[in-house]
Each structure stands twice: as C-alpha cells, then as structure tokens.
Amino acid sequence: MTEIFDALEFCLQEMERGADLDTVLARFPEHADELRPILKTAAKARSMVSAEPSPDVVRRSRAQVMQRAAQLRESKAAPRQRVIPALSRLAISFALTALFLASGAGLVNASASALPGENLYPVKRGWESIRLFFIFDPQLRNMLEDEYENERLHEVNELLAEGRHEVIQFAGVYMQVNGIDYVSGLKVILPADAPALANGDAVIVTGRTNAQGFIRFQVSRSFRRVQSFHWAARLRWKLRKDRNRGRKTLLKANQTPGPGMKRGHPSLKNTNSTALSNPFLRHPL
C-alpha cells in the first residue's frame, strides 16, 4: 500500500519541477491508472490558479502530506491495521489537494456545481477520483460511487433543462414505455445500429444532450460486459425503484390506465413522455 503513496509523492514532486504527466507516470506503469486522474486534476488546477502559492502555504501543505505518508509507512509494522480509517484517507486527500490549490482557495468548492463542457468540470471529476482513491472499504466506496452516479444524472438533467449541447456519459438501467426509450428516467434516442436492449438492462450511455430535451446515444453497451456483476446487481435493484416511482409519477400527472389495465401497469396508455421524471433525483439512494 505504501508503494503507491511513495509513487504519488514522487510524481507530485517531479511535476512541481516541470515534468509532464506521461513522463512521471512512465516510472510507475503498474499504478498509472490510479495516479493519472489525481495528477491530471492537480495539473488542471495549477493551470487555472492566477497566482502562485506562497512558500509558507506550500511548505505547510507539503508537511501535511509527508506526515500522512509517514503514518502510512509506519502502519506497515502493524499487520492487524490493514485498512486505513476512512477519515485518515480523506485527510490525506484534503492535504494533497491543498498542496496544489493553496493559491486558489475554494476552487474545489466552486467546481461542485460545474457541468460537462465547463472549465471547472475536470477539477470536479478529478476531485471525485481523489476521494475514491483514498477509500478502500468496499461499503464506503460503493456508497460514494452511488453518490457520483446520482450526480451524473443531476448534471444531465441540468444540461437538458438549459438546452445545452454537451457530450455526457452516465450509467443507468434501460426501460421502454409506450415505444419511448429511457435510461434511468432520461429520454434517449438509440442509434440505428444499437444492440437490442431489454427492460432492466444495465447500460452505459455515451451521447450528447440537446435543446429538444433528450439524449442521442453515441455508444450503447451492456454494463455487465464492462463492469463486475456487483454493478449490474446494484443497477437492477435501482430499476425496481425506478419502475415503481416512475409509475407513481405518471399517475400523478393525471394519466389514466387503459381498459383492462391495472393501476401502475408499465404500458400505460396516453402517456406524456415528459411526465416520467428521474426517480434517482427525487429519491437519492
């Protein structure tokens, strides 16, 4: 565990001296995938800061990082303490971020509401990667990943509400209602060559929002093919809530079930496609 933190420390120092991202990552190919988002965020943040941090601020921030790194190295002597407390990892991530954002106080906070296509959005996504990097407890990590999944849905809804054209990507569950395709409550237009999808399929959506209020797919693929079964199971669990809450929303919009149909039937007639709101946004999991 300490090896990757030593690699992170080395990369940060080299980038401060002017080394580029690919050069420092080439020294640690086994950790490149984990280090890249953190270092990219650091580089992006530094390029957006208008003034250099004072030597005292940099020194204090580095001292915090080094102190935490020392604690991690010492923990190797205590095998029973294999998992670093979540708060300690968060403290490390805060100190790491402070090292690069010291002269741009509030930059991370300012990026919290950033949307795809905006300057601060890479900082927002990078900060998410930093938080995940320092959380090893599976349950805590799953909770944080769920939070980020919901945030992606929030972002897409904001873009659609503003009528903006931006490239987006998010994970969700597919459902068709009255011939209209949805992923987690968001209306999508599938490409002609899209693979066949069934209600309940877990998918990754890569597409573009537009002023007409829907998402045009660029890529559609089964989530289960690119992620673990755990991810698909979680999304299927969300689908059950998606269906139940979506039906309630449709009925509240004064839609009447057709003849012989029970209340809440998924094939409701006379359904207004805009009435199917996103259940994840109204009821975050």
For residue range 140-170, list pLDDT tens digits in order. Answer: 888 888 899 889 999 999 999 999 999 998 8
Task: Look over the chain and give the mean of its residue pLDDT values, rounded to a whole number.
Answer: 66
**Euclidean distance between CA atoms 37 and 179, whole angstroms:** 39
Q: What per-residue confidence (pLDDT) applies to 156?
A: 94
For residue range 67-116, list pLDDT tens digits in order. Answer: 555 554 555 444 444 444 444 444 555 555 555 445 444 566 777 889 99
Pairing assessment for the beta strands 215-222 and 167-177 based on DSSP bridges: unpaired
Q: Kindly list the domain boundaries of the chain, sorted by start residue.
A: 2-136, 148-282
For residue range 35-70, list pLDDT tens digits in order. Answer: 887 787 777 666 654 444 455 544 554 555 455 555
What 3-state DSSP class applies to 209? Answer: strand
Mean pLDDT value of segment 233-260 = 45
Mean pLDDT value of segment 193-211 = 84
Who wins on pLDDT, 256 or 79? 79
Query: What's 91-133 look like in SS3?
Result: HHHHHHHHHHHCCCCCHHHHHCCCCCCCCCHHHHHHHHHHHHH
**Euclidean distance between CA atoms 133 and 5, whole angstroms:** 11
What pTM was computed for the model?
Answer: 0.53
Q: What per-residue confidence (pLDDT) applies to 157?
A: 92
**Euclidean distance between CA atoms 124 and 146, whole angstroms:** 16
Q: Which CATH architecture has domain 148-282?
A: Beta Barrel (2.40)
**Euclidean distance between CA atoms 242 and 244, whole angstroms:** 6
Q: What per-residue confidence (pLDDT) applies to 283?
A: 32
210 Cβ neighbours under 8 A, 6+ residues apart: 163, 165, 216
